[in-house]
Amino acid sequence: MRKSLFLSTLMFVLGLSGLALAQDGEASFEASVDADGAAADADMGGAEGGITAYTARGLTLDKGTLRIDVGPGDRALLQRGAGFVVNETGSPLGAFINLNAGAGFGIIDNLEAGVVILPLGLAPSGVDVYGDPTAYGRYQLLDGDTQLAVQVDVLLPASTFFGFGVAVPVKFALGENMHLNTGARFGFRDTPVTATLSIEVPVEFAVNIMPALFFGLATGLNIRNLDIGFDSGAIPLEVFAGYTMGLAGHQLDITAGFGFPGFLSFGPGASNPVADVWQLTIGGNFHMDIL
């Protein structure tokens, strides 16, 4: 089952890439495709009025924009578990499968808030399990080729324990079709034994090879318990791809990613690389202007 699921997903990603690259015509790359290029953009799944390339977007949603998340908002500090996620941990119970959904909204210029309100566990329990909802707020301080924001997130203990985090997202534009999305998040999590402090430094490199098609690599550094230090740390590794299509003046990102959450682990006796624990994420993000 797992092999067939992985192969199906791989074919899905390759199919998207082939579909996008097979289109007739060439569109010049711009942050937002305008109506003058509508005929060419239609061949790429664009819509009249244009789509915004993945790497050309800001750290916050535009005012009045609603994003429905059934996939990660990005592979940096908006990677909050949204999507159809298969986690292979080596457990004799089998893979853990989740279906998580939420939303983000541009409240005013430079201010975004969002939630993962539907965190569902589908396996291996065999019944739906409701997890912990999360909520976040983000305010962008700097715009341009270097963008900077501040972010606060809260984990609501519907299933486990309370937690919150404070983060500084940073994004660097690398030319007109690439970005480096990074930052740092300091987290607090309550547990029955003791509270834990963690740090997360994600790094996402992404390229738009055309306005509608993007791919990238995500890595970084995660230290789950600062009291233990680097022995609780790991370097993840993920590859991902996505396709953006216009829908009646709105836009939809279809994405897929495959990676190893603890690709390089720092714990005693760790055997690196850790390739038997992997994660598959399939999802989508629908952007619509409602104000």
pLDDT tens, residue by residue, 253-266: 999 999 999 999 99
Looking at residue 47, its pLDDT comes to 36
Comparing 266 with 45, the larger pLDDT belongs to 266
pLDDT value of position 229: 85
Report d(CA 101, CA 282) in Å as an integer.
12
> Residue 128 — very low, low, confident or very high, per pLDDT cuts 50/70/90?
confident
Q: Which domains does the chain have, with CATH numbers?
A: 2-289 (2.40.160.40)
pTM (2 decimals)?
A: 0.82
Torsion over CA: 7, 9, 14, 16 (sign): positive
Residues 103-126 have a mean pLDDT of 94
Q: Is the pLDDT of residue 103 over 80?
A: yes
Unique residue bearing structure tokens 């301080």 = 141
Q: Residue 26, Cβ neighbours under 10 Å: how many?
A: 10
The pLDDT-based confidence of 37 (bands split at 50, 70, 90) is very low
First to last CA, the chain: 44
pLDDT band per the 50, 70, 90 thresholds, residue 93: confident
CB 96 within 8 A of CB 89: yes
- Give the tens place of pLDDT for each residue, 150-205: 999 999 999 999 999 999 999 999 999 999 999 999 999 998 888 999 999 999 99
pLDDT > 90 fraction of the chain, expressed in percent and rounded: 72
Q: Do the Cβ atoms of 87 and 279 come closer than 8 Å?
A: yes
The per-residue pLDDT for 281 is: 98
Average pLDDT score over residue span 93-105: 94
3-state secondary structure of 15: helix
